[in-house]
Structure 1
């Protein structure tokens, strides 16, 4: 169960927290939205980028940006200097656990106080889904680090629907999850929660000695057939769910260029977690409205915002 906090829906009126945060993952959907939130609230922020052109783009916007990588320990530690807080969101990939470990080790070495890490609602150290397993192992590593920590366990991202935009425009929504349901979350809600956690002393005070995890979901589990109905009502053209057997779904992913390891993970995610409800696939939480003082963004909200991409011309 979540603990209800005093909502601050329009701004992050911080209770004396002025600590600079380093944002790792600033070019991704969550990280870029988080940077906007922090800048709008007047918080001090630095971003870490891999490529010089990314550094230039942030610098031209007046954002403190440094070039570093997980593999370059010296540059990583330098990026963390004078940043008592770290926002950590690593990309999905075979090196995800190792990248998290290197960032956490660097944070310990330079004296970072608090780490806010993006994780997954289905994180499980024994999962057949590589990113769910890596998130769980990295969460455990962070918990043992001695740092103050907050873990944001995000459910399935609504933005994944954009990968099916071409099919949705043609009126169908292919998947292998059947009538299984999960509580979808918008990446901008994850960013807004991260901003509040990084800038609000009241929230940070609730982490306690053992840290704090938030489960970030929509207001109710939705199946793909239900999502197809929402898209139909929102976009103004019929969208039908098309069930694909798992082997056909895998073959379609591979044909579209998805690497084999990732395609296998996606099959497990949509069959085991969504269709069968394993690893908390159907869990819902009120953490987003409790923290933000407003409802979580819905699939219908997302579809309206992205109607130009999802709707027919």
Structure 2
């Protein structure tokens, strides 16, 4: 039986990929910096994508790789992709919507295209799970953030994982690029409203000056270029909303999960 290696296996998407593949009875191996603490239900091998020399044990006998790149720059991606190509037949790369114009996502896609691997790119838009950054503010009843009228079709991490597993376990996806979103085009103000309704709390939006948000994000992320890119992206969604795609429905035969469903699944995180 061919083994599938899942990187980013302890993250929001990766854990669901591991669980779905394992439940389907497939041979799954997870990559983790600390296997003992990972708590995954499959073989978990120590390794770190930022240290390519550590990847050989994880790649031994692998046919397919689910690749989720850590960090905001391509770093050692060229060596990592080369090592994957030495062992595996195909890779499913979790990229991002707009990767053609986004430095490290686009750069890694190009490395994969030139690697000789059979590849599929998943390009999700905004992750619903990123709204967890508002959890403390929602508990206090006020979310202070910039660009409240920025509209996005946020996707549930379970849908990204379901698409990844479908692509990894079925034919017809070689050379495909899939743009993935949720079904609801909601402004950030509406996202906060929905979360408040789900958790039974009155939450209001307070518009924050972008320069103030930038200082906060710099403290949290520590990467000026990425912070500035994120702020420009949110600003752009005020006048040019992120439009919902039907890719999840086409691939899985069911609609993408609604943002309200995501909020219900994560209600405890806002309590």
Output the TM-score relative to the length of structure 1.
Answer: 0.79
> Which residue, out of 75, 81, 85, partners 1:104?
81
**Structure 2 match to 1:121:** 97
Q: Is this contact kept in 2: 1:77–1:107, CA < 8 A?
A: no
Q: Is the 8 A contact 2:96 2:124 kept in 1?
A: yes
Cα gap change, 1:57/1:237 in structure 2, threshold over 3 Å: closer, same or farther? closer
1:187 aligns with 2:163: no
Q: Using CA pairs below 8 Å that are at least 6 residues apart, which structure has the higher relative contact order? A: 1
Answer whether contact 2:184 2:244 (CA < 8 A) is retained. Answer: yes
C-alpha separation in 2, matches of 1:124 and 1:206: 19
Gaps of 5+ in 2: none
Q: Aligned to 2:55, what secondary structure does the other structure show?
A: helix
Deviation for aligned residue 1:292: 2.2
Specify the alignment match of 1:11 in structure 2: none
* Pairwise CA distance, 1:57: 4.3
Equivalent of 1:89, from 63, 68, 87? 68
Can you list the C-alpha shifts for 1:193-235, whole angstroms capped at 9, x where unaligned?
Answer: 11111112xxx3242xxx0011110113211122133223322
Residue equivalent to 1:213: 177
2:238 to 249, 263, 275: 275
Q: CA deviation at 1:180?
A: 2.2
- Residue 49 of structure 2, aligned match among 55, 70, 75: 70
Distance 1:113 1:291 in 2: 22
Moved over 6 A (4+): none
Q: Report how many residues are paired.
A: 270
Distance between the aligned counterparts of 1:70 and 1:227, measured in 2? Answer: 34
CA distance in 2, matches of 1:75, 1:306: 34
Deviation, structure 1 residue 236:
2.1
CA distance in 1, matches of 2:4, 2:192: 39
Whether 1:136 and 2:99 are equivalent positions in the alignment is no
Show CA shifts across 1:143-200 (max 9, x none): 2222110111011111111111011122222322232211101112111111111112
Task: Choose the corresponding residue for 1:31, options 14, 18, 28.
Answer: 14
Structure 1 unmatched runs, 5+ = 1-17, 126-131
User: Distance in 1 between the 2:45 and 2:140 partners?
Assistant: 43
1:149-168 counterparts in 2 under 5 A?
149-168=119-138
Kept in 2: contact 1:70–1:102 (CA 8 A): no
- Deviation at residue 120 of structure 1 after TM alignment: 0.7
Match of 1:55 in 2: 35
Deviation sequence 1:85-114 (CA, Å, 0-9, x none): 011001223xx413432221112222x111
CA distance in 2, matches of 1:139, 1:21: 20
Using the TM superposition, give the Cα deviation of residue 260 of structure 1 relative to its aligned residue in structure 2, in angstroms.
4.5
**Aligned equivalent of 2:228:** 264
Distance 2:216 2:134 in 1: 12
1:222 and 2:202 aligned: no
How far 1:61 moved relative to its partner? 5.5
Question: Do the aligned partners of 2:221 and 2:227 also contact (CA within 8 Å) in 1?
Answer: yes
- Equivalent positions of 1:4-23 (< 5 A) are 18-23=1-6
The Cα of 1:121 is off from its aligned counterpart by 0.8
**2:169 maps to what in 1?**
199
Q: CA RMSD in A?
A: 2.1
User: 1:276 offset after TM fit, Å?
Assistant: 4.1
Tell me if structure 1 keeps the 8 A contact 2:180–2:245: yes
Q: CA deviation at 1:302?
A: 1.7
